[in-house]
Structure 1
Amino acid sequence: MDTTTHVTTGISLAGLSFLDPTIASHPDLVVGVLLCTVIGSNAPDIDFLFKYKGNETYVQEHRGISHSIPAVLLLSFLLSLLVSLFYGGSFFFTLFLWTLISVIIHVLSDICNIYGTQAFRPFTKKWIALNILPIFDPVVMTLQVIGIVLWINGVQPGYTFSFVFLFILSYISLRFFMAQKVLKAVDAKKNEVYTILPSFSVFSWTVIASCENHYRLGKYKRGKVSWSKVLDKNCGDNQIIKAAMKNRFVHQLLQYSPYLHAKIVKKHDGYEVHWFDLRYQSRIDEPFVAIIQLDHKLNLVKSYVKRGLISIPERV
């Protein structure tokens, strides 16, 4: 999820913590719990530090080890230990519990997105992504903001956020079952693999069909799928594409994403090969493109990652 959602989730969890008898009977713990849940709700994104080593490194490391089982436990322990020192070392286990909950919810919510996480490291490096929530979901945000406003206006926070999280869980369940409905609506063809991607609306989804030699991109609305783009797969037969695939970063992307598409841009001094991940089709989904620059002899000149709004190549 986006940072704003993680922050509001942390505040909401602090409100929910009033159901804990220890916190309810010690009002002075509120600030400490709030620190633990808000920071904990953002702690796994400490991997943003990789940005200082460049976008390529960040794309490779984002939602990797920092979202793993050891990291979840370590981040929760260190944060709750630090905050408990302000209370003379008391209430560590209470603070640890709510910190751990906030960090786990961060990872679980990221699993619901397109990007996913390597949440089960060190047991497996497989990326887990359910593709049922957009990076920013207005329904999740609205429900949490309503709860926060009610809390500010004196409504008992524990019960308030019990209902908030119950509604959020119901909403996510609805999205999950809606995703299954979309898959059933696809006119499945032999030797095609389908992936559906969420939008803001629970009734509108992007569909990608992976065929033997090409991808098909479509939209699900009103109970049916309309196909709009067909893109060739890049299997390395083209010598320019083949040369770009020797780049270490592109090689890693090909292992990570099943939906990479390359576009060749001819330049006066050689070529650029733009690698698009077809799963990211809007600004809010953190799209990126890997750009490999080659000279006329197909030698690598430079490679970098561009972030921001990126248009998927036109129909071919």
Structure 2
Amino acid sequence: MVKIDQISLPDFPLLLAPMEDVSDPPFRMVCKENGADLMYTEFISSEGLIRDAIKSRRKLDIFDYERPIGIQIFGGDEESLALAAKIVDVTNPDLLDINFGCPVKKVAGKGAGAGVLKDLDLMVRLTDAVVKSTRLPVTVKTRLGWDDQSKNIEEVAERLQDVGIKALSIHGRTRAQMYKGEADWTLIAKVKNNPRIKIPIFGNGDIDSPQKALAYKNKYGVDGIMIGRAAIGYPWIFREIKHFVQTGELMAAPTVEERVNVCRQHLRKSIEWKGPIVGINEMRRHYANYLKGLPGIKDYRNRLVTLKTMEEVEAVLDEVAVNYKDFVMERQAIELVNYHENCPL
């Protein structure tokens, strides 16, 4: 069992990463149903919360079936982050996470997210301000450092633990790398193996298959892993990793019928939460991922991103389920045969 303060998680828990414009309640719902152990909201601007910005406040929506769930905030000002923490406290999540990892210019360029990596003393002060402003357990998500010359994650981990954080998630890239190149987990392992570190350490970056998840678990010894991009349009990644870690066997890939059903479920929740217009429009970014790998799917995808009613979208999804049913069953068989022929004993 892994514990974040009083929150109990299973051995080697799988976390859903907070992703802007992705990790909303509809997406979190399908990930939770497929095995995510701990999830986070999209990151929320501390300044937006204080100004009562509608978009920021809406991101505070959480549901009991999602628990345990954390709300993630970002900002570069101690007073603003502390006040935002008090606002979050009222919404009663299970924990509060601080984003010190977002690399995009509009965040990092304003001294928030990964921008804080350039000033470790500021990072400590910001974290301390949040810890002292909330009754919730506070966790942090960050990167190895600003660039190759400032990979300071080992010092970061010790100092943030000293001011009271209860867990640390580390993306194995610097801010300068953005999402390019291969994530380096060696420094994540050094943090985990530091005898001073007593809090759970979660690794993040490049985990896109059950085989890789187990290999990284064994090689780097982290307490759990956080999955981001690999879950977009493929929430089954969580259940597949769990099954492989427990049994050493790969699960069968989801059938097209299952892909369509989960996509439909995601769509309906999106409309329920956002309304018919925004719900349908924002769902368009997900179709390509749900239907990835199906030959000749481009025409269906092009239709899906132009439709304006739930009934029209569901009619096209029904066509996909019927027309690709046999293909997926064949592909699953090939995948499993290939795996068992090549898997080392």
- TM-score normalised by the shorter chain: which range applies? under 0.3
- TM-score, scaled relative to structure 2: 0.24
Q: More relative contact order in 1 or in 2 (CA 8 Å, sep 6+)?
A: 2
Larger radius of gyration: 1
Higher strand share: 1
